[in-house]
Amino acid sequence: MKRRQFLKTSTVGAVTAAAASASAFPAPAIAQSQPKFAWRLTSSFPKSLDTIFGGADTLSKAVAEATDGNFQIQVFAAGELVPGLQAADAVTNGTLEMCHSCSYYYVGKDPAFAFGTAAPFGLNARQINAWFYHGGGNELLDQFYDKYNFIGLPAGNTGTQMGGWFRKEIKTVADLVGLKMRIAGLAGRVMSKLGVVPQVVAGGDIYPSLEKGTIDAAEWVGPYDDEKLGFYKVAPHYYYPGWWEGGAALHFFINKAKWAELPKNYRAILSSAAAMVNVDMQAKYDARNPAAVKRLVQNGAQLHPFPAEVMDAAYKAANELYAEISKENEWFRKIHDSVMSFRSDEYLWWQIAEFGFDAYMIRARSRG
């Protein structure tokens, strides 16, 4: 089913009666009667990252097609209107109608923002979508986002990310001490417990920072995007897994007043288009990452799993951090408890079916 057809069918509904012929009745003037809206959307990402930036373009085109051009959303890359890490601020104050960003970019305002994207040792991509749509996650997050004057629609996922690029090899926890690393969200606070000095660096500034030695390591997304940014040229040690991002989700944040101005069918169209982006982005990453990691290795990237010592220390530090923040932040505690309770049940199921299947397929592949 074509995208335009699907969106219209799923949101606007059937608009003509089957009994009437085209010659007997004029075409319904639905398109002509619909109001016109022109919104601006700022992304937190540069255009060069076609998969993650492209989600906003996909939404814009889908909404325009489904409304016969009456609802136009103009997309701007990070820095064209506002800096990438200030996208949500522009939506809060009404400067822009919406943005495409990661919730955890704003943990400086409140650490509870982390759970809209990813939390260390939290949910994977499928699990976070299950929590969003059927575990009360969307409703809980919107209650939290309310004080920032926007609502959120899930808008893509990278899947489990890589652990980042390091200029030097990491063999023990001691190798992390004093290391300056670009790392987002609560992961930075976990890493700081292990001696890392977290750095907040926008995507477009990571490569020059690594090249100049301003930072010693950086995490970004995964092979497809990392290859585009060329990190392997200046930091050859590529670690996995990104334990802080088992399934990093993105959102479209929409100003509450602007959302309320939309007709009901436009809100439904926008929601349906966002859901399509949510599926499409992860599918693209899953399709493109395998070839990208092969090319990276061919070009000199050295793949390493994080040592068990580092993983165990990080897991312990993450749980310590959660306990500390929960004591002083009610919203953090409330969302954390929801996520972790959901995680417990999810992994009871995953160890029965998902892990068993995946483990066998990995063994079968290794045997040829």
pLDDT surpassing 50 at residue 163: yes
Q: Are 220 and 203 in contact (CB under 8 A)?
A: yes
pLDDT at 34: 86
Q: Which of 242, 195, 194 is nearest to 218 (CA)?
A: 242
Mean pLDDT of the region 172-182: 97
Does residue 159 contact residue 283 with C-beta atoms inside 8 Å? no
pLDDT above 70 for 274: yes
Residue 2: its pLDDT value, please? Answer: 47
Backbone torsions φ then ψ of 194, nearest 5 degrees = -95, 5
Reported confidence tier of residue 356, pLDDT bands at 50, 70, 90: confident
Nearest CA to 314 among 135, 167, 183?
183
Radius of gyration of the chain (CA): 22
* Residues 254 and 133: beta-carbon distance below 8 Å: no
* φ and ψ at residue 82, rounded to 5 degrees: -140, 155
Rounded CA-CA distance 156/277 in Å is 6
Which runs of consecutive H residues, i.e. helices, occur in 213-307?
Answer: 223-229, 256-261, 264-298
CA–CA separation, 68 and 269 (whole Å): 12
DSSP lists the bridge partners of residue 238 as: 165, 303
Rounded CA-CA distance 143/355 in Å is 34
Kindly state the percentage of the chain with pLDDT values over 70: 91
| Confidence check: pLDDT of 13 > 60 | no
Helix (H, G, I), strand (E, B), or coil: what is residue 349?
A: helix
Are 224 and 285 contacting, i.e. CB atoms less than 8 angstroms apart?
A: yes
Q: For 179-228, what is each residue's pLDDT tens digit?
A: 999 987 799 999 999 999 999 887 778 999 999 999 999 999 999 999 98
| CA 301 – CA 296 distance, rounded (Å) | 5
DSSP state of 68: T
Q: Which residues contact 275 (CB under 8 A, 6 or more apart)?
A: 153, 154
State how far Cα 55 lies from the chain centre. Answer: 10
Closest C-alpha among 198, 169, 172, 166 to residue 185:
198
Alpha helices in 299-329 (DSSP H): 308-328
What pTM, to 2 d.p., does this model score? 0.87
Q: What is the mean pLDDT of residues 291-316?
A: 97
Residues in the chain: 368
Please, are residues 195 and 179 in contact by the beta-carbon 8 Å criterion? yes
Q: Which region, left, alpha or beta, applies to residue 109 given φ > 0 means left and ψ of -120 to 50 means alpha?
A: alpha
Cis peptide before 290 (omega within 30 of 0): no
Strand positions, DSSP E, 67-195? 71-76, 98-101, 150-157, 164-166, 180-182
Identity of the amino acid at 252: F
**Mean local confidence (pLDDT), 32-51:** 91
Dihedrals phi, psi of 86, to nearest 5 degrees = -115, 15
What's residue 32's pLDDT? 58
Contact 241, 311 (CB under 8 A): no
88: tokens are 């949500």
What's the start-to-end Cα distance of the chain, in Å? Answer: 37
